[in-house]
Chains A and B, each alone.
Chain A
Amino acid sequence: MNALEAKELVVVKIEARHGRVFRSGRARYFLLRHKGELHAVPDACAHRGGPLSKGSVDECKGTVTCPMHQLKTSLKLLMPKALPAVRVGTEVRVVCESETVD
């Protein structure tokens, strides 16, 4: 199911840099750079919700390691949960749930 299905949508503008954290509704997201592109993915490890934005990305293996317990999350699992976004130069606009708090 798409992360935004049946939700009221708003668009937020944020700086285009890896690790930039923002909220969509009540959930935390962050911009993850992978293969040169910035993806707006959930900032919560599936294990105990650790901040993946502070983890390390392994481009070759396609994983991000959570700083809490060093568990690796496959980017293939994260990408389907990404929010629709467009980078234009140094700025990214992300389609989020309403009541987003930047």
Chain B
Amino acid sequence: MQAASTVFPLPDNTFARQLDAYLSAACFRPRPENEVAPFGNPWWRPIEKGTPLTADDLALPLAVGDVASRKARVLHRALYNIYEQSLLFLPVTATDEVPVRAGASANPDPMAASAQSGSSALADYHAFYDPQLVALGVALRPHLEHLAFSALAAHVRPTGPWTMEAFRAYTRSVLKEHDTTPSSVSEAIRACSDPVGALRFVAKQQCSDALTEASGMSRYLGGSYGPPQSELTKVFVDEYGFGVHADKHSVIFEAFAASLGLRTDVHAYFHEYETASLLSANYFHWITTNKLMWPRYMGAIYFAEASLPHVNGCMSALVKEIAPNAERRYFVEHVEIDDYHKRMVLENVVAPLVATHGAAWMADILSGFEEFRVVGDILGDALVRAIRQKFPGQEDVA
């Protein structure tokens, strides 16, 4: 079974026109007076207007790894906003005061917050959640997903009769290779002309997902599917710090970001997000929004939990080395807890469901596992390219 989004092709230029209409909403329009995101306004998500994408542009899916084209930039920003319109971002204050949060006051970031009246932020709040805009986004979503992900789905093709034993052998092999490969992003940061600047750049990219507690991953907590649902919930209980707000992973990420002098209000760096960062977040939104893709989610969440200890171990060592005063708890926490999550997902979620539903799901589980690995590689390559471009080291200059 290869579950995928159903595509509803629209005639002529209808889709292009409707996408342009969606992107023309007030909360998505650039404002010359706000080169920097106003504080406490996660709903204003400017997307460069430029020339609208044409019906021809929107006929062909993005190639795997295309995160540099304008088309990719527009499509992934549109999708990201559509997905996040189903998440709640509340105003910090109901007054007209400009909200101020931790990390703002001693902000040495040249991208310092600009002033904006609270009433303008509230206007964006209402515009972002406008039911008609939300409905338009929902209508556009299936074709946008087709454009964004169909090439990736064709890039990864499991075949043959799979068993749980073969799945374990396969994933063990892939993860061993992953865990013995140095992080290319960490190495690029070390080798560049401004390692702390590059670290801040990477942290801004992580803001796209970490500050929202990887909400795309949590869409399967609802519904009713037996003991595996409770087992999956345990993973998220850890992520949410057992209900202790200070221990919530997004909150300890805020401490890391603030220790680098970055803003911690959600989507303060929306305009700086690389398309690859949004691809990574959108991938999980895609497989959790479309419920037939649940087997893919099992594979993807398993790869995520199993690969993160190594990734975060590399980041922890890097931060300790180049920014010793920065807050590292976020990375240390994930090195430890995701090792548990890896086993919990495999033994308590994947294995029982395969035992119940049979090996027919294995192809989709493997697709999710490998697709998210590919997405991670695309993100890593994009960040390395950006670091070398923004902070060229001696080798890059030569």
Chain A positions within 8 Å of B, measured between CB atoms, are 2-5, 9-11, 37-40, 80, 82-89, 93, 95
Knowing A9-B166, A93-B174, A95-B169 touch, does A84 contact B155 (C-beta < 8 A)?
A: no
Of residues 208 through 260 on chain B, the ones whose CB sits less than 8 Å from some CB of chain A are none
Q: Is the CB of A88 within 8 A of B374?
A: yes
The contact sample of 16 A-B pairs, CB cut-off 8 A, is: A9-B169, A10-B173, A37-B159, A39-B160, A40-B160, A84-B158, A84-B160, A84-B161, A84-B163, A85-B160, A86-B158, A88-B370, A88-B373, A88-B374, A93-B173, A95-B169
Q: Complex: how many Å from CA A91 to CA B259?
A: 42
Contacts of B343 in A (CB 8 A): none
- From residue A38, how far is it (CB to closest CB) to chain B in Å? 7
Contact present for B155 and A88 (CB under 8 Å)? yes
List, in ascending order, chain A residues with CB within 8 A of B395's CB: none
How far in angstroms is the closest Cβ of chain A from B379? 16
A10 cross-chain contacts in B, Cβ below 8 A: 169, 173
Chain B interface SS verdict (over half): helix
Residues in B neighbouring A3, C-beta threshold 8 A? 161
Q: Flag whether B294 is at the interface (Cβ < 8 A).
A: no
Residues of B within 8 A of A9 (CB): 165-166, 169
What's the minimum C-beta distance from A33 to chain B, rounded to whole angstroms? 10
Q: Give Cα A83 to B374, complex, Å.
A: 23
Residue contact B166 to A84, C-beta cutoff 8 Å = yes
**B288-306 near A? 1/0 per residue, CB < 8 Å:** 0000000000000000000
CB distance from B65 to the nearest CB of A (A): 9
Tell whether, in the assembled complex, residue B166 and residue A88 are in contact, meaning their CB atoms are under 8 Å apart.
no
Chain A interface, DSSP helix/strand/loop, else mixed:
strand
Complex interface: chain B residues within 8 A of A5 (CB): 163
- Name which residue of chain A comes closest to B373, CB basis: A88
Ranked nearest first, the 10 interchain pairs of A and B with the lowest CB-CB distance are A11-B173, A9-B169, A82-B160, A84-B160, A84-B166, A95-B166, A87-B157, A86-B158, A84-B162, A39-B159
A45-B165 Cα distance, complex, nearest whole Å: 28
Q: Which residue of A lies closest to B169 (CB)?
A: A9
- Nearest residue in A to B371 (C-beta to C-beta)? A88
Q: How far is the CB of A65 from chain B (nearest CB, A)?
A: 21
Are the CB atoms of B174 and A85 closer together than 8 Å? no
CA–CA, A37 to B154, complex, Å? 10
With contacts A93-B170, A93-B174 taken as known, whether A80 is within 8 angstroms of B370 at the C-beta atoms is no
Closest A residue to B367 using CB positions:
A86
Asked if residues A40 and B159 are in contact (CB atoms below 8 Å), the reply is: yes
A83 B174 Cβ-Cβ under 8 A: no
Instruction: List residues of B (314-361) whose CB comes within 8 Å of A's CBs.
Output: none
Within 8 A of A (CB), among B133-173: 155-163, 165-167, 169-170, 173
- Distance A64 CA – B177 CA, assembled complex (angstroms): 35
Q: Which residues of A contact B169 (CB under 8 A)?
A: 9-11, 95
Apart from A39-B160, A80-B161, A84-B166, list 13 A-B contacts with CB within 8 A: A4-B163, A10-B173, A11-B170, A37-B159, A82-B159, A82-B161, A83-B160, A84-B158, A84-B162, A84-B163, A84-B170, A86-B366, A87-B156
Give A82 to B159 CA distance when docked, in angstroms: 8
> A86–B157 Cα gap in the complex (Å)?
6
The answer, yes or no, to whether B47 is at the interface (CB within 8 Å) is: no
- Shortest Cβ distance from A86 into B: residue: B158
B374 (CB) vs chain A CBs: closest residue: A88
Q: Is the CB of A4 within 8 A of B166?
A: yes
In the assembled complex, the CB of B300 is this many whole angstroms from the nearest CB of chain A, namely: 14
The residue on A at minimum CB distance from B167 is A84
Contacts of B163 in A (CB 8 A): 2, 4-5, 84
Task: Let me know if B155 and A89 touch, CB within 8 A.
Answer: yes
Bound state CA distance, A37 and B155, in angstroms? Answer: 11
Residue B64 at the chain A interface, CB threshold 8 Å: yes
Q: Which residue of A has the minimal Cβ distance to B163? A: A2
Residues of B within 8 A of A89 (CB): 64, 155, 374
